[in-house]
C-alpha cells in the first residue's frame, strides 16, 4: 500500500481511538509495533499496539497549535516515515487558540491575497498555517482555476524563505523540448542556439521556493531527473558533467489524481512519495457558497480601477446569475467573466446580468433552481457530504464533526438525499 494511503489509514485509526471507538491501525505497514500519544501533562491520549517493554523508542514533540503532545514510536523508523506520521497527527490534533474567532481564517487568507469567507476554506487555511513554517514539501490539490498558485505563494509567504525568490513553473505551458533546459539550465554550445551559459529555474529559486504547476504533466524522463536533483540537492546543466548545489523548497500542484497516474505508469512512484508529503486541498468555487459574489465584487473593483470605469456595482440579477452558475473554470473563469463585464460597463454604472458571458446568464434562466431554499439545501447537502468524507463514512464521527446527534444526521442524510460515503 502506498505510504500516503497508510498514513491516511493511521490518521483515521487515531481519530477513532481518540473518540473511544475500536479501529485497526496499520502499524505493521509502517514498521511499528506500538504508537502512543500523551498530552503535556503525561496523560495518555491514544495508545495503539503493544510496544515491547524495554525496547528502543523514538520520541517526538507534536506542535498542534495551542496544544502540546508527545509522540512515541516503537521501534524507531526511518526519518521520512516518522516525519510523515508526526505531520499527519499534528494536523489531526491541531487546536486553534481559544480566543480565535471563527472568521479568523478569512482574515488569514486575506493577508496572503486570497478573498474568501466560506467555511469550506477554513480547513485548507489551517493546513497552510501548519505546513508553511515547516521545511516540508507541499502538494496543492484542486480543480483547474481553483487558486492553487495563490495557495503556493501563500506557503512561500508564510515560510522562513519568504525573503528568497518564488519561481513558478507552468509545466504544460513550456514545450517539452525546452523544459529540461528551462529547469536545469544549459552550458554554452550544449545545443544549437545555446550561445552562453544559462542558469535554470531550479538555480534561480535557490534560497527560496519553486512551484511546479500541474506537475502531473511532467514527462517520465524529466520526472527521473527532477527526483535525482531533489534527492542530491544539486542540478546538472545540459551539456555539463559537474553538479551545482541548490537549496530549494518544492511546492507542487495538480488537478490530476496522481495515485491513479502512478498506477497507470505515467508518474513515478518514488517521485510521488517525494512530493506527496503535506497536502492542501482547495474546494472548487461551486462548493464555496457566496464566495463567488465576494470574489466578483473584488475583481469588479480591480478592473473598474484598471479600465477607468469609476465605481461599478453588481445588480441583484447579476449576483443571482453568478450564484446560479456552477463555474467549471473556477476562480479563473469568474475573473475573466468580471473582466468582460467591467470592460462593457458604463462609467459609474450598474453591471447588469446582460454584461456577463452568455454561459453565466443561461444559469439563471427560469426553471433552474436558483431560489433561496434550493441554494440553502445544496449548501447543507455539501456540508453533510464533506463531513462524511472526512470521517471515512463513519456517521457517528461525522455527526460529532457537525455538532449534531447521530439521529439528526441520519435525518438530514435521508431528507437531503446525501449519497453514502465510501468507507
For 219-237, what is each residue's pLDDT tens digit?
999 999 999 998 889 988 8
Local structure of 65: helix, strand or coil: strand
- The CA-based angle 330-333-335, given to 5 degrees, is 105
pLDDT of the residue at 11: 85
Local structure of 224: helix, strand or coil: helix
Classify residue 367: in a domain, yes or no.
no
Domain boundary among 252, 281, 310: 281
- The CA-based angle 77-79-81, given to 5 degrees, is 65
160/272 same-domain check: yes
Classify residue 9: in a domain, yes or no.
yes
Classify residue 401: in a domain, yes or no.
yes
Look at the chain and report how many structural domains it folds into: 4
296/351 same-domain check: yes
CATH of the domain at 344: 1.10.8.60
Classify residue 110: in a domain, yes or no.
no
Asked if residue 126 lies in contact with residue 94, where contact means CB atoms within 8 angstroms, the answer is yes
Asked if residue 142 lies in contact with residue 284, where contact means CB atoms within 8 angstroms, the answer is yes
- First vs last Cα of the chain: how many Å apart? 17
Asked if residue 34 lies in contact with residue 74, where contact means CB atoms within 8 angstroms, the answer is yes
Each residue's pLDDT, cut to its tens digit, for the chain (423 residues) gives: 778 788 888 888 888 887 667 778 899 999 899 999 988 777 788 888 887 777 788 988 887 766 778 899 988 988 888 888 888 888 777 765 443 344 578 888 988 889 998 889 999 999 999 999 988 999 999 999 999 999 999 999 999 899 999 999 999 999 887 888 889 887 876 676 667 788 889 999 999 999 999 999 999 999 999 999 988 899 888 877 888 899 999 999 999 999 999 999 999 999 999 998 899 999 999 999 889 999 999 999 999 999 999 999 888 888 888 988 999 999 999 999 999 999 999 998 889 888 999 888 875 554 444 455 566 677 777 788 888 888 888 888 888 888 888 877 887 887 777 766 555
pTM for the structure as a whole: 0.64
Helix 122-131 vs helix 104-111: crossing angle, to nearest 10: 60
- C-alpha 25/C-alpha 30 separation (Å) is 10
The DSSP annotation for 88-123 comes to HHHHHH-B--TT--TTHHHHHHHHTT-----GGGHH
Burial of 58: CB neighbours in 10 Å, binned 0-12, 13-18, 19+ = middle
Domain that holds residue 42: 3-93
57/146 same-domain check: no
84/140 same-domain check: no
135/71 same-domain check: no
227/80 same-domain check: no
224/155 same-domain check: yes
169/130 same-domain check: yes
User: pLDDT of 265-289, one tens digit each?
Assistant: 999 999 999 998 899 999 999 999 8
Domain boundary among 281, 301, 320: 281
272/300 same-domain check: no
Task: Name the one residue in this structure whose C-alpha cell is 508527545.
Answer: 70
DSSP 168: E
Domain boundary among 362, 385, 402: 362
User: Is it true that the peptide bond before 155 is cis, omega within 30 degrees of 0?
Assistant: no
Local structure of 69: helix, strand or coil: strand
172/250 same-domain check: yes
280 DSSP β-pair partners: 140
193/125 same-domain check: yes
Amino acid at each position: 500500500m502506498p505510504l500516503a494511503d497508510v498514513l491516511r489509514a493511521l490518521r483515521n485509526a487515531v481519530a477513532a481511538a481518540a473518540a473511544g471507538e475500536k479501529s485497526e491501525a496499520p502499524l505493521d505497514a509502517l514498521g511499528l509495533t506500538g504508537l502512543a500519544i500523551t498530552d503535556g501533562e503525561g496523560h495518555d491520549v491514544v495508545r495503539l499496539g503493544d510496544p515491547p517493554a524495554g525496547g528502543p523508542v523514538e520520541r517526538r514533540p507534536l506542535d498542534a497549535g495551542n496544544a502540546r503532545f508527545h509522540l512515541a514510536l516503537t521501534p524507531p523508523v526511518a526519518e521520512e516515515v516518522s516525519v510523515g506520521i508526526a505531520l499527519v497527527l499534528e494536523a489531526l490534533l491541531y487546536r486553534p487558540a481559544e480566543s480565535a474567532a471563527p472568521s479568523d481564517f478569512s482574515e488569514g487568507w486575506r493577508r496572503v491575497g486570497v478573498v474568501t469567507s466560506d467555511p469550506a476554506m477554513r480547513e485548507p487555511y489551517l493546513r497552510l498555517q501548519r505546513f508553511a513554517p515547516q521545511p516540508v514539501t507541499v502538494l496543492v490539490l484542486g480543480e483547474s482555476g481553483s487558486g492553487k498558485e495563490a495557495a503556493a505563494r501563500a506557503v512561500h509567504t508564510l515560510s522562513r524563505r519568504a525573503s528568497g525568490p518564488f519561481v513558478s513553473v507552468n509545466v504544460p505551458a513550456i514545450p517539452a523540448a525546452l523544459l529540461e533546459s528551462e529547469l536545469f539550465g544549459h552550458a554554452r554550445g550544449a545545443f544549437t542556439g545555446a550561445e552562453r551559459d544559462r542558469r535554470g529555474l531550479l538555480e534561480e529559486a535557490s534560497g527560496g521556493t519553486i512551484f511546479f504547476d500541474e506537475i502531473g504533466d511532467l514527462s517520465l524522463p524529466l520526472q527521473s531527473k527532477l527526483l535525482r536533483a531533489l534527492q542530491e540537492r544539486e542540478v546538472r546543466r545540459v551539456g555539463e558533467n559537474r553538479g551545482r548545489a541548490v537549496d530549494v523548497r518544492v511546492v507542487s500542484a495538480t488537478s490530476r489524481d496522481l495515485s491513479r497516474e502512478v498506477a497507470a505508469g505515467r508518474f513515478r512512484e518514488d517521485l510521488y512519495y517525494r512530493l506527496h508529503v503535506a497536502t492542501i486541498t482547495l474546494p472548487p468555487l461551486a462548493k464555496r457558497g457566496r464566495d463567488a459574489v465576494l470574489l466578483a465584487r473584488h475583481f469588479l473593483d480591480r478592473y473598474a480601477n484598471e479600465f477607468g470605469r469609476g465605481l461599478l456595482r453588481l445588480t441583484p440579477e447579476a449576483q443571482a446569475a453568478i450564484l446560479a452558475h456552477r463555474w467549471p473554470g473556477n476562480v479563473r473563469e469568474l475573473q475573466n467573466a468580471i473582466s468582460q463585464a467591467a470592460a462593457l460597463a458604463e462609467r459609474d454604472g450598474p453591471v447588469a446580468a446582460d454584461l456577463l458571458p452568455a454561459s453565466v446568464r443561461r444559469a439563471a434562466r427560469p426553471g433552474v433552481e436558483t431560489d433561496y431554499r434550493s441554494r440553502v439545501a445544496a449548501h447543507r447537502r455539501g456540508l453533510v457530504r464533506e463531513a462524511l468524507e472526512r470521517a471515512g463514512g463513519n456517521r457517528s464521527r461525522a455527526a460529532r464533526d457537525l455538532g449534531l446527534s447521530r439521529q439528526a444526521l441520519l435525518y438530514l442524510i435521508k431528507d437531503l438525499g446525501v449519497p453514502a460515503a465510501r468507507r
